[in-house]
Structure 1
Amino acid sequence: MKRWMIWIALGALVVLTVWKLASNKRIVQERVYRHDKSAPVHVGVDTVRQALLGEGTRYSGTVEATHDGRVMAEVPGRVVALDVKEGEWVERGAVIARLDGELLRLQLEAAQVQVGGLEKDHARYTILAKADAVQAVQLEKTDVALEAARIQRDNLKEQLRRTTIVAPFSGQVVQLLVEVGTVLAPSMPVAQLTDHRAMELVLLVPASDRGRFRIGDALTVAASGTRSLVGTVSSVGDRGDGAHNFAVRIALASSTDDAIRPGMSASVQAPRKGEVPGAVIPANALIGSTLQPEVYVVQDGIAQRRTIVTTATSGGLVAVAEGLKPGDIVVTSGFISLADGMPVRYR
């Protein structure tokens, strides 16, 4: 009897163990992540641009902000408040500093009182002149005095408005050149403002090479320690400096990784005669082997795997001879869950 009870207990234990293992397997399977193939994959993208990646003559220059300048005081006064800090981004019209305008306010009040008195005199003399009670010359003198008083009042209003110093354009406060208590004269600098969202490379090229650059040419710009960018020649100087060099300005494509900043050195290759700009892409857009490079092209929100033919490589950029055209959108990151024909999402 006892032996049968032992066998029954062992059988129940085996059944319980099997049931528990099956239950654990089901729970684990439920917790395993399964990718929804219909859900868009988040990827990083870049646009195929047109540029030259040849080995022409290289020129070095300095990166400058398109909008860069000092904010100046327009009226004299003592700084009573600074509304920004160095490194802060400000929008156009934002207050940079405030000057003491108490004396101007008192002068404005006096001018307004004077205008009010002259307006009353003018109204009275107008009535008397119509009745021939005063000479017309008296009314004319009142007219002149009233006009002069109004001009003085408006002048004081404008001076008082200019005691509030504002940003002439949106940018970053690179340097504050005053502090609270500083007494300013007109045209004294208050702050250095730079808008690094739009930058350009400034080259000084000899007269013999000036003809290598044409407005609208797309060139590859390489900055120290950063990936290459595509720039477009925006202007070619018509007048040389004392060393007979001409200024060439190359507008840089916007950079979102803070890699390029004003004051950095950069270089560019001038196109050789007969060279034609072609499609270029970032090297991190390539997948597959070097013998058969491929990319993912985004069309109508769908990633399409495409074989391309590449030629030159320079500074993180790859020239494409076949398979892509300027304006195409290629995937540069997020390849792990990506496959041909899958929907994608990007910003």
Structure 2
Amino acid sequence: MLWRAKIFWSAAVCLAAFLAAGPALAEPSQGPVFTARPALQVQTLTGFTRERARLRLVSEVSGRCLKVLYDVGDTVGPRGVFAVLDDTFVALELEANQVEQERLASRVAYLSKETGRYRALVQKHSEAPSKLDRLEDELSQARLALTALKTQRKVLTERLVRHTIKAPAGWKVIERLVEPGQWVNVGAAVAQLGDFRTLVVPLALDPRQYEILRKAPRPLMVFLPDQGAALPAAVSRLSPAFDPVTRKLALELELNKGLQEHRGGLRAEFKLSAPDPSGAVLLPAAAVQERYQEHWLTRENGQQVRVVLLGSGPEGALRVSSPQVKPGQRFLAPGQK
């Protein structure tokens, strides 16, 4: 009987150990889990840099050009003087104006005294009032003439100032149209200037591209292949008009930081990333199983989902598509349970 009891207790211990180990064997293997990411469609827009603004510098007076301070490619200095015209005749007119003002001032002083004397005589009934009226009229006309001369002096002074043609400081000369000794007429262009301190890249976007740009994270990045640099950019101008021919919107991106060279004609590339309209997702190659020329994904609950392989994606991932697969869903590697 003793040996039967030993056999019974040994069997009971083995059964308990088996039952205890049973659930552990039934647990699924803990392998990698992959999350589907949305596949992005990247569109590259190409443009070329140009100046932020352009100015046609014109002369407001006529005269012979005495000197030009800047040539093509030069940057206008802080004083802003671009060219100087001959102002000899204006200066002579100012001198003549000053002499005439002094003459009229003397005339006004004399008539003021004469009017005062005749006013006293009229009050004493020693002179006729008509002569006083005539003197007062002459005094009034002399004062008006003096005022007109002062106004004329202001006009001549302003004209004298405008014989110095000024340009915005910091702008660059694109085209020089005048030389020393040349006669310049009123309204004639003397130079073309551009503000290259800030560069802009003009682009044309369709409405869908514009919506992607509007929702894109800031700052926007523009790549300059000639300089091998990616620079931050901002939208500077957006035309509210819609081109019915191209069906696009005119937009300008502004660049003013990190530029090695401030000039036009630099090639600029701007990339727009948007979710693939086909609904494709990105998954590592380890998550995709191929069987009989078909491709499958395995959900965490073991369900198999057939997908269409669209091609390769970034970082070795695969682009797959299926109505049952959405971004954010999780999948197992083939063979996991």
Q: Map 1:200-279 to 2 at 5 A.
A: 200-207=200-207, 209-214=209-214, 217-227=218-228, 228-240=230-242, 243=245, 245-258=248-261, 261-270=263-272, 272=274
SS across alignment from 2:257: coil
Equivalent in the alignment of 1:196: 196
CA distance in 2, matches of 1:129, 1:171: 60
Equivalent in the alignment of 2:75: 89
Q: 1:230 to 1:123 in 2, by over 3 A?
A: same
CA distance in 2, matches of 1:217, 1:120: 72
Equivalent in the alignment of 2:43: 57
Alignment pair present for 1:186 and 2:189: no
CA distance in 1, matches of 2:138, 2:210: 70
CA distance in 2, matches of 1:267, 1:140: 74
Equivalent in the alignment of 1:155: 155
- Alignment match of 1:74 (pick from 35, 55, 60): 60
CA distance in 2, matches of 1:242, 1:219: 27
Structure with more of its chain in strand, by fraction: 1
Q: Quick check: 2:49–2:266 contact (8 Å CA) kept in 1? A: yes
Specify the code of the residue in structure 1 equivalent to 2:226. G
TM-score (norm 2): 0.57
Q: Quick check: 2:170–2:197 contact (8 Å CA) kept in 1? A: no
Q: Map 1:256-335 to 2 at 5 A.
A: 256-258=259-261, 261-270=263-272, 272=274
Offset at residue 198 of structure 1 (A): 1.6
SS across alignment from 1:232: strand
Equivalent in the alignment of 2:307: none
Q: Quick check: 2:224–2:269 contact (8 Å CA) kept in 1? A: yes
Q: 1:109 to 1:219 in 2, by over 3 A?
A: same
SS across alignment from 1:270: strand
SS across alignment from 1:226: coil
Give ranges in structure 2 of 5+ residues lacking alignment: 1-39, 120-131, 277-313, 316-337
Equivalent in the alignment of 1:124: 110
Equivalent in the alignment of 2:10: none
Equivalent in the alignment of 2:327: none
TM-score (norm 1): 0.56
Offset at residue 257 of structure 1 (A): 2.0
SS across alignment from 2:154: helix
Q: 1:126 to 1:104 in 2, by over 3 A?
A: same
CA distance in 2, matches of 1:165, 1:273: 55
Q: Quick check: 1:92–1:167 contact (8 Å CA) kept in 2? A: no
CA distance in 2, matches of 1:56, 1:130: 92
CA distance in 2, matches of 1:105, 1:255: 49
CA distance in 1, matches of 2:149, 2:237: 49
CA distance in 2, matches of 1:70, 1:87: 15
Q: Quick check: 1:219–1:270 contact (8 Å CA) kept in 2? A: no
Q: 1:245 to 1:184 in 2, by over 3 A?
A: farther
Offset at residue 241 of structure 1 (A): 5.0
Offset at residue 224 of structure 1 (A): 4.1
Specify the code of the residue in structure 2 equivalent to 1:58. T
Q: Quick check: 2:76–2:168 contact (8 Å CA) kept in 1? A: no
Q: Quick check: 1:213–1:233 contact (8 Å CA) kept in 2? A: no
Offset at residue 250 of structure 1 (A): 1.5
1:237-267 per-position Cα deviation (integer Å, ceiling 9, x unaligned): 2224574543212221423422x52233423
CA distance in 1, matches of 2:66, 2:196: 29
RMSD: 2.9
CA distance in 1, matches of 2:231, 2:88: 52
Structure with more of its chain in helix, by fraction: 2
Specify the code of the residue in structure 2 equivalent to 1:123. A
Q: Quick check: 1:207–1:245 contact (8 Å CA) kept in 2? A: yes
CA distance in 2, matches of 1:80, 1:157: 19
Paired positions, count: 222
Equivalent in the alignment of 2:145: 145
Percentage of identical aligned residues? 26
